[in-house]
Amino acid sequence: MRHAFLSGHAVGRRGALLGALVVGAALIGHAPEASADAPPKAEVMVIHATKCDKKSVDPRIGDTPPALGYDCLKLVDKKTLPLTLNQASTTALPNGRTFQLLHTAKVATRYKVTASISPADGSAGFTKLADITADPNKPFNVGGFSYQGGVLVLTVRIVP
Amino acid sequence: MSASTLSSERMLKLMAYADGELEGAERLEVEGWLASDVDAARFANELAGLGELVKMGHEASSAASAAASFDVADAVMAAVKEDAAPKVAPVVSLAERRQKNLKVGGMVAAALALAASVFVMTRHEEEAPMARAPAPAVQPMASAEPGVDVDLVETAGDSVRVFYLSSENSPTTSVVVWVDESGGK
């Protein structure tokens, strides 16, 4: 009786261990496949920020980005940039300039990108602004580009 | 001295006697003078006293010269002997020496680490206000973890700054890379 109980107990533990291994292998094998198939993308909100007497925020913006003293925020455009590794992705801005994101690396779950802007005088090339390492879905803002009495603020969110 | 009553010849012989230079008949003759002639005996005594003084002076001079020669020669010889003598280094345990070196190395490393940490902390405190240069009507906030790290590119110039700001309707900190284009397009 005691032997049978021990034997059954051992089989139960062995089965649970085997099941855990199978589930773990499935999860491990599944994760890289998903990230490999779907490259991350950057969702960019182009916001026109101006100084005004009465504060107003476009409801389409959602979480209000800090605009450094510009109280009136209006969503101008919303774009999605693919972030293929080491390939620059660009979008045209209302002020005639071009914003560029370059995905340079992925460190654990974080994405490293380089943000650049084309020159204000319309000449060719880009001026690198900053290397940004961001958690997925964590927004950051790049702004200050002059536009119609105010500035453009780009709220960027990298989506896996 | 009563030498004036003595003849010069007798004085010379008495002096030679005092110096022990006379022998034989001359010595007996002088000893006869000493026994019979008071002046000769007194002169001989004076010569003997003078001889003692000369002797004492000579001995003192010898001692002084010996001391002088000791001061120089002995000192030189002692120094030569010390240099020539083989010097034996004290035997030290290798384990103790290594332990001592480890302790010293550890203390030096600790001191360097402390200095480095102080340097980094003070440097961070100095740089923080520059990186978060104030903008109108905005208070920087650094306490919350933004989830975003920004390294400014040097080529961007002084017009680009990074702000860590609190959003109005969000408890977390927002990161803003701000390009100051005052007067630009």
**pLDDT interval class at A3 (50, 70, 90):** very low
First-to-last C-alpha distance (Å) of chain A: 56
Residues 128-167 of B with CB under 8 A from A: 135-138, 146-153, 155-156, 160, 162-163, 165-167
**CA of B109, closest CA in chain A: separation in Å?**
32
Query: For chain B, which residues score pLDDT lower than 50?
Result: 1-2, 67-70, 124-144, 184-185
Q: For residue B133, which residues of chain A lie inside 8 Å, CB to CB?
A: none
Mean pLDDT of the A45-66 span: 90
Q: What is the pTM of this model?
A: 0.49
Question: Which H/E stretch holds residue B31?
Answer: helix B24-36
ipTM for the complex shown: 0.73
Q: What is the pLDDT of residue A125?
A: 92
Mean pLDDT of the A131-156 span: 94
* CB count in 10 Å sphere of residue A152: 25
Q: What is the pLDDT of residue B35?
A: 85
> Is any Cβ of chain A less than 8 angstroms from the Cβ of B185?
yes
Residue from A132, A154, A155, A158 to probe the interface with B (highest B Cβ count within 10 Å): A132
Outline where DSSP puts E strands in A22-109: 41-50, 56-57, 72-82, 88-92, 98-107
**CA of A5, closest CA in chain B: separation in Å?**
53
Structure tokens at A138: 């964590």
Burial zone of A47 (CB within 10 Å; 0-12 exposed, 13-18 middle, 19+ buried): buried
Burial zone of A103 (CB within 10 Å; 0-12 exposed, 13-18 middle, 19+ buried): buried
Burial zone of A118 (CB within 10 Å; 0-12 exposed, 13-18 middle, 19+ buried): buried
CA–CA separation, A31 vs A84, rounded Å?
18
* CB count in 10 Å sphere of residue B131: 15
Q: What is the pLDDT of residue A74?
A: 95
Among A30, A156, A45, A36, smallest CA distance to A106 is for A36
Most trustworthy range by pLDDT among A55-64, A135-144, B24-33, B35-44 = A135-144
Cα A54 to Cα A50, A147, B83, B136, B168: the distances in Å are 11, 20, 97, 17, 16
